Every structure is written in C-alpha cells, then in structure tokens.
Amino acid sequence: MPNASNTTKVSTDKSVSRVFKAMGPGLLMAAAAIGASHLVASTRAGAEFGWQLAWVILAVNLIKYPFFAAGARYTVATGESLLQGYYSQGRGYLMLFTLLNGVAAVASTAGVAMLTAAMLTLFIPLSIDILALIVLIASLALIILGHYRLLDRLSKVIMFSLTLMTLIAAAMALNIPSVIDSGFIAPSPWQWAYIGFLVAMMGWMPAPIEVSVWNSLWLIEKQKQMSISKAQALFDFNTGYILTTVLALVFLSLGASVMYGSNEHFSDSGAMFASQLIELYSNVMGSESRYLIGAVALLCIFSTTVTVIDGYSRSLAGCWQLLLHHKKRTESNGVLTRIMLLMSLLSLLIILFFQGALLPLLEFVMILAFITTAVFAALNFKLMTSEQLAVEDRYGPIMKLWSWLGIIYFVGFTLIFVYWKYFQ
C-alpha cells in the first residue's frame, strides 16, 4: 500500500515541475526588460545620484503594472492576443498601435543591438558598426532556426546566471570602502537640467508598455505546447515583473556603491561605456572576474536583443495580417521573417548614423518610449474595461483607479518634458 506522505510529495513535485514548465512568457518579458533600462539607466542613476532615484524606479514599475498585466490577463481569459483585442475595439485602434509600434521597433532594436555590440568590443577588437551587424545576424539566425522553444529555454538560463552574478556583486559592494571624494557635493536630480534623463529612465523602466503585447503573443505560443491556467499565467507574469523591479534596484545599488561620489561619469562612447560597466563589477568582485562578468553581461544584453527583435517582429506581423486579411488569427513565417529583416536593416542604418555614440542613442530611444507610453497604456486600459471581456476578467475598481493614476502620471510628465525641451 503506497505511503500517503510519499504520494503527497510526488504530487507536490509534479505541481512544482508543471508550474516551472508553464513559466516562459513572463521570463521572456523580464529578459527583454533587463537590458538597457537596467544595465544603463539604473546603474547610471546610482552612479550619478546615489539612492535618490530608488523611489522613482519603484514608483514607475508600480504605476506601469496594470498595463503590463493586461497582456497575460486578456490572453488567458479570451485565448486571443492583445492585437486581436485592439482590432475588435475598432480598426483605428490597431492602426494607431501599428504606427507607433513600428517606429519603436526600429529605434529600440538599434539601441539594444548597439549596446550588445559595445559589450562585444571587450572580446572582439572590431568597430561597433561591424559588431552590430554580427549581433543582428546572430539574433536573426537564432530566432528563425530556433523558434519560440529555444528562446523560452535560453531566457531561463540567462536570467538565472545574470541574477545570481548581480546579486553576488551587489552583496560584495556593501562591504567596500566609500569612494566619495572629499569636498563632493551631492547633485540633486530634481532640477530642470535632468528632466531628459528622468524621462529616459522611466521610458524603459522596466520596459516600454508595448512589451505587454509580446507577453500576450508569447503566451499564445506557450499554450501551443501545454495548457496554461489563469493562475499559472499570472504567476509567470508576476514573477518576471517582480524580478525586473528587484534587479533594477540592485543595479542602482552597484552604481551607488562603486561610482557615486567618485567624480567618474559614464562615457557616451559605446566601447568606453562597456569597459566602464565591467570595471564597475570587477572593482567589487576582483579583476580576475572581469571576463566572466563581461560574458554574463554580454549574454544578458544579447538575450534582450533577441527578444526585442522577436517581440516587435511578432507584433508587427500580427498587425499586418489582421489589418490586411481581416482574420481572427493567421500564421505566416514568411511575413514574420521579412519584417525581421527589414526592421534589422533599418536599425543598422540608425546605428551607422549615431557612429558609436551609445548613450545619446539610448536616451533618444528611451524618451521616445516614454512619450508613447500614455497611448499604449490607454489602449490596454480600454481593452481591460471593455464589455467584450467577462465581468470577472475585467479590471475592477482598484485596478481602474490604479490605471487612471498611471495615465495621468504619464501625460503629466510628457507635458513637463515637452515644456522643458521646447520652451524652457
């Protein structure tokens, strides 16, 4: 007769295993998020302002939550992607999303590809332009040949490696001597001169809101492999989202511990920035760890590039097919591949235009992301409060209030930025 405790243990093990297998879309979203916003924006915020912006990072992650959660919630409730939801609201909504998403796709791909190329200069002595081309080709090959299944598995390994390495570095950084120079006067981020930096940081913190569509599309791909319950989908999403928020603060702590008060500043040059970033880690963990840290950081940002190309291309392909074919769901690897190639080509042209100036390119892309945030947020809010959803799946009073506060925040900060940029 089987032992009851053993039976319970086997059942629990199977449940845990199933939950882990069901995870994927949320971790892919985290892999896309933990790139420029964390490696660049969070670290730079800590290096220049210490812990002063920690609450801003927490606040913007909290404010964006309802709009990101829409991807998992809508898809698991309806079996449809957010794109199909936009289309059901009206053709104009999907056309607006397609236009803004197309611009963001090219700019964002250029930004993460250049950052990956900058990290690659630590290992390969070639120009950033050539390395960016190599990065784009490698990313396309991985997506086209490996498809979603490989992307799903790769993200889990990379996320675990980077998280472990960063947490170890942050813990060690707490014990290093202060680097603050005598006579150092702490700068305040609450000045007009830093509005551009604040908006840029919030634009990709934890990621642009259109990434919620990727989560929706990846969840549909995951559902082709196995049945996903509402609880599993939300657990996966929440795990990825919490992880991105925690790591944003960890990266800020590294910048605050190692660079704040030292009168050192990150260079605009991609190659120099990559070297400074790895130096920041190796100062804490030892010079012998430099190449190991560089490899992990490279894998992290490369995974971001792969997921960004896949996510934007998948969403644009979905838009294209819905707008032209008026079908509920269409499949065409040919359309997806052509969009990937075109997006990568246009991104390479932007990289060539910026001539290795990494930080100006990333700041431009992040500001663009924040300016469009209110539009993407409003689209998701409209969908999650629409009558096409069952009452139990719609946002209730708390989520509605939460969403309205977020939209007001985005619109308000966008107006402040426009005033600062063009009238101040």
What's the sign of the alpha-carbon dihedral 101, 106, 110, 112?
positive
Comparison of pLDDT for 169 and 49, the residue scoring more: 49
- Answer yes or no: is pLDDT of 57 > 90: yes
Average pLDDT of span 271-299: 75
Decide if pLDDT at 153 tops 80: no
What pLDDT shows up at residue 328?
46
Distance, CA of 400 to CA of 380 (rounded, Å): 11
pLDDT at 143: 82
Integer Cα distance of 195 and 188 in angstroms: 11
Rounded Cα distance between 39 and 155, Å, is 17
Q: Report the pLDDT value the prediction gives residue 395, as an integer from 0 to 100.
A: 95
The residue behind tokens 């420029």 is: 36
Q: Closest Cα partner for 42 from 193, 242, 217, 256?
A: 256
Spatial separation of the C-alpha atoms in residues 373 and 205, rounded to whole Å: 11
- Asked if the structure places residue 141 within a domain, the reply is yes
Full DSSP string of 39-100: IIIIHHHHHHHTTTTHHHHHHHHHHHHHHHHHHHHHHHHHSS-HHHHHHHH-HHHHHHHHHH
- Beta carbons within 10 angstroms of residue 408's beta carbon: 12
For residue 10, the model assigns a pLDDT of 40
Q: CB–CB of 247/163 below 8 Å? A: yes
Give the separation between CA 370 and CA 372, rounded to whole angstroms.
5
Classify residue 407: in a domain, yes or no: yes
In a 3-state reduction of DSSP, which class is residue 197?
helix
422 vs 319: which has the higher pLDDT? 319
User: 């990333």: which residue's tokens?
Assistant: 362
Whether residue 8 is contained in a domain is answered as no
4 has pLDDT over 70: no
Pick from 291, 302, 245, 262: nearest CA to 38: 245
> Other C-beta atoms within 10 Å of 321: how many?
18
- Partners of 374 in the β-ladder: none
- In this structure, is residue 411 part of a structural domain? yes
More confident residue, 142 or 283: 142
Residue 416 lies in a domain: yes
Q: What is the CATH number of the domain that holds 111?
A: 1.20.1740.10
Q: Which of 250, 303, 280, 263 is nearest to 42 (CA)?
A: 250
Model confidence at 9, pLDDT cuts 50, 70, 90, reads very low
CB 81 within 8 A of CB 327: no
Q: Give the residue with greater pLDDT, 157 vs 366.
A: 366
Determine the pLDDT at residue 94: 93
| Cβ–Cβ < 8 Å for 50, 260 | yes
The DSSP line for 284-314 is HH-GGGHHHHHHHHHHHHHHHHHHHHHHHHH
pTM to 2 decimals?
Answer: 0.84
pLDDT at 381 over 90: yes
In this structure, is residue 238 part of a structural domain?
Answer: yes
Write the single-letter amino acid at 74. Y
Q: What is the pLDDT of residue 315?
A: 92
pLDDT higher than threshold 90 for residue 82: yes
Work out the mean pLDDT of the chain and round it to a whole number: 83
The reported pLDDT for the residue numbered 152 is: 62
Residues β-bridged to residue 357: 269
Q: Which carries the bigger pLDDT value, residue 365 or residue 333?
A: 365
pLDDT digits (tens, 9 = 90+) for 18-44: 555 556 677 777 777 776 678 788 888
Query: Is 122 contained in some domain?
Result: yes
At 150, is the pLDDT very low, low, confident or very high (cuts 50, 70, 90)?
A: low
In a domain, 194, yes or no: no
Is pLDDT of 329 > 50? Answer: no
State the residue range of the domain holding 378: 23-179+205-422
pLDDT at 179: 64
Residues 339-371 pLDDT 10s: 999 999 999 999 999 887 888 888 888 888 899
Would the pLDDT of 1 be above 60? no
Domain count, the chain: 1
Q: Return d(Cα 262, Cα 283) in angstroms, integer.
A: 13
User: Which one, of 342, 340, 351, 346, lies nearest residue 312 by Cα?
Assistant: 340
